[in-house]
């Protein structure tokens, strides 16, 4: 479909859930041979194997809260979103949440809490978390707000409910920006896509708090920009090994070591690749490649899936994958409602 078509909205949320559910198989694995990935994926096609339902993890659980909150409040309401995170956690605590964020989610359920951002600020000796938990749930922000500055602002605030370190919340901003641009069809011109992300993140990371966190954590002056430049270098190379991707971009639980990686997975899989079946469409390639990197596979596949789904649209996603993942129907409904919200709020001049 064209820019911001319903198919792209549905693709984004559905492929995000698929990445999480399918990627859960390899989360934390150090090395994942492509052969194992392809075996896992072909077992999804085989109904006689009875893979059953693959459950979603915290990535999708929290993204659902974000989508529900944005829809119910027709915009960003930090109190409502915080309440939903807390309620979801207490209803299903065993979705594989990060070890630190559990404290925040428990505090957020206290009725005495006035400042909903305070529990996140108390994390990790007052510096806040740099985990990828803000980024993994950022896609719905891109689907709710047509305006780029709103996407940036609300993805930032939504992440701040659990991740107050700039290396955490700026990962969420970058992920939301990538979905936003992909929804517009910006991946048709991959080099311009990455240049636009760099331009936006230059501004985002120019902020005083971001510079300070980067200094304290001994990262580059603008850590996400630096990674985006590495992506551009990798894109220009004819051959890139999995090992190089891991060593240049990472595959870990920090937002800095996973959001740029997810973006690279999408860019790398825009064309067919030798290591992947010819029959695969773009979303299948992207998710398969994300899993082969190992590490935080559910989250990297979830983020890459959302960006890729916004590019290729829902029609390219195999039904057999959709059928075996928990929560896909809901994601599809949220996508349809967010599509209406997005187009309603567009100002007609
Ligand atoms: O970021 P978060 O919500 O975790 C998301 C990840 C995804 O992979 C999910 O699929 C799930 O598996 O977890 O949860 P946090 O607890 O805020 O951060 C995740 C981890 O990153 C923490 O448990 C720490 O190990 C590490 N971490 C830090 N370590 C030291 N100093 C995050 N911030 C810091 C820090 O400032
Ligand atoms: Mg998870
Ligand atoms: Mg994960």
Ligand 1 centroid to residue 163 C-alpha, Å? 9
pLDDT for 63-113, tens place per residue?
999 999 999 999 999 999 999 999 999 999 999 999 999 999 999 999 899
Q: Average pLDDT, whole number, for the chain?
A: 96
Rounded mean pLDDT, 304-330: 97
Residue whose C-alpha is closest to residue 302's, from 153, 163, 138, 168: 138
Q: Does residue 125's CB lie within 6 angstroms of at least one atom of ligand 1?
A: no
Ligand nearest to the CA of 136: 1
What would you report as the CA-atom Rg of the chain, rounded to the nearest whole angstrom? 18
Asked if residue 348 has pLDDT above 90, the reply is no
Structure tokens, 310: 């916004």
User: What's the half-sphere exposure (Cβ side, CA atoms, 13 Å) at 125?
Assistant: 0
Ligand 2 centroid to residue 95 C-alpha, Å? 7
Does the domain made of 6-344 have the CATH classification 3.40.50.720?
Answer: no
pLDDT for 261-312, tens place per residue?
999 999 999 999 999 999 999 999 999 999 999 999 999 999 999 999 999 9
Coil, helix or strand for 254? strand
Atom of ligand 1 nearest to the CA of 132: 1
Supply the residue whose CA is at minimum distance from atom 30 of ligand 1.
Answer: 124
| Percentages (nearest 5) of helix, strand, coil residues in the chain | 65, 0, 30
ipTM confidence score: 0.99
pLDDT value, residue 48: 62
* Degrees to nearest 5, angle at CA 21 with 19 and 25: 100
pLDDT band at 259 (very low <50, low <70, confident <90, very high): very high
pLDDT band at 49 (very low <50, low <70, confident <90, very high): low
Element (H, E) at 264: helix 259-268
């Amino acid at each position: 479909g064209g820019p911001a078509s319903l198919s792209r909205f549905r693709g984004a949320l559905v492929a995000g859930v698929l990445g999480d559910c399918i990627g859960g198989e390899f989360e934390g694995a150090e090395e994942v041979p492509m052969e194992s990935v392809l075996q896992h994926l072909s077992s999804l096609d085989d109904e006689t194997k009875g893979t059953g339902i693959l459950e979603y993890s915290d990535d999708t659980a929290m993204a659902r809260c974000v989508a529900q909150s944005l829809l119910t409040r027709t915009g960003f309401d930090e109190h409502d979103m915080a309440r939903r995170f807390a309620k979801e956690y207490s209803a299903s605590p065993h979705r594989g949440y990060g070890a630190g964020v559990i404290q925040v989610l428990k505090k957020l359920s206290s009725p005495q809490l006035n400042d909903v951002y305070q529990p996140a600020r108390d994390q990790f000796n007052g510096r806040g978390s740099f985990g990828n938990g803000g980024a993994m749930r950022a896609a719905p922000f891109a689907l709710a707000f047509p305006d780029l500055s709103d996407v940036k602002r609300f993805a930032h605030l939504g992440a701040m409910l659990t991740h107050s370190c700039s290396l955490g919340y700026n990962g969420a901003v970058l992920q939301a920006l990538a979905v936003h641009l992909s929804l517009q069809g910006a991946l048709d011109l991959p080099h311009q896509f990455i240049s636009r992300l760099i331009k936006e993140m230059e501004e985002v990371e120019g902020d005083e708090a971001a510079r300070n966190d980067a200094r304290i954590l001994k990262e580059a002056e603008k850590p996400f920009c630096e990674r985006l430049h590495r992506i551009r270098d990798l894109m220009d190379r004819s051959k890139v090994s999995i090992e190089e991707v891991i060593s240049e971009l990472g595959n870990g639980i920090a937002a800095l070591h996973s959001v740029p990686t997810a973006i690279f997975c999408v860019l790398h899989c825009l064309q067919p690749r030798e290591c992947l079946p010819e029959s695969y469409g773009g979303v299948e390639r992207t998710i398969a490649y994300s899993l082969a990197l190992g590490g935080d596979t559910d989250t990297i596949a979830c983020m890459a899936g959302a960006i890729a789904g916004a590019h290729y649209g829902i029609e390219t996603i195999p039904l057999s994958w959709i059928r075996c993942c928990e929560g896909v129907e809901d994601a599809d409904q949220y996508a349809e409602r967010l599509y209406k919200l997005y187009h309603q709020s567009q100002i007609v001049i």
